[in-house]
Amino acid sequence: MAATENSQLYRDLMRLKPEDVTPNGWAVKAGVSRTVWTDMRRHGNPSRRTLDKLLSVAGSSLAEFEALRIGEVPRPAAGAAVQRGLRDVRAAQWGSAALPPLPLLSTAMAGEWDDPARQIELTELGRSEILDHLPRPPSLAGDREAYAMTIVGDSMWPRFRPSRRVIVSPRSPVAIGDDVVVQLVGSGEDGERPTVSVLIKEYVRRTAAFVELRQFNPDLRFRVPADAIAAIHKIVGEHF
């Protein structure tokens, strides 16, 4: 990436920096190296995971940041106050039009997928059990299928801690390194409640025969046959 573009990326990030921390403090709070700002100038874009961590601390997400950078929403002025949380972040810039809320779907532990000895954590998602409605990020205004869910296990720790709410967009394209919700074929019924078994993991790669995923705790990579997958939805950020 050229130096001018790099400078613009840096400026865009600085407009979202939390007011109560320095740039180095922001990096530390996000769990990334304090050299991220220097690296950004020398080597180009940081990884999507680094950006996601920085934006999460700022109460934003990759989807919102990308929309901001391509001009779908106006950039906040330098030095302008930025409120924390997706509930009200940059409300003044986006306007006051009401957006339909995000449904918070129920989740529960569902044991292990495949060989129990590998400890590949499986989650049960209640497709029709809505526990609450949460404010919708403006970047997902056109995604009628977007939803929120609560992380109930620790297989993605420290990326996601249990009880953290995440926002999921079925319409967003999935890229290597993204966090995803993989819906498995063969959804069953839990009493009268329709449910689907899902794997909440990092997307590693895809072939015609399988999708390779990664979980962090325990740290391992594994493959899911393509014909066992009903859908792959992208996690676009956390809901604070």
CA distances (Å), origin 146, targets 166, 175, 207, 221: 11, 18, 26, 27
Q: Above 70 in pLDDT, residue 77? A: no
Domains and CATH numbers, the chain: 3-94 (1.10.260), 102-239 (2.10.109.10)
Give the residue ranges of DSSP H helices in 15-164.
23-30, 36-43, 48-57, 62-69, 91-94
Is residue 5 within 8 A of residue 40, CB to CB? The reply is: no
CA distances (Å), origin 119, targets 164, 187, 206, 219: 21, 21, 22, 10
Q: What is the CA radius of gyration of the chain?
A: 19
Strand, helix or coil at 146? coil
Q: Which tokens sit at 148?
A: 């929120």
Is residue 45 within 8 A of residue 5, CB to CB? The reply is: no
Give per-residue pLDDT as tens, 172-221: 999 999 999 999 998 654 445 578 999 999 999 999 999 999 999 999 99
Is residue 198 within 8 A of residue 169, CB to CB? The reply is: no
* Mean pLDDT of the region 88-97: 42
Q: Which residue has the higher pLDDT, 235 or 59?
A: 235
One-character DSSP codes across 64-96: HHHHHHTTSSPPPPTT----SSTTTTTHHHH-S
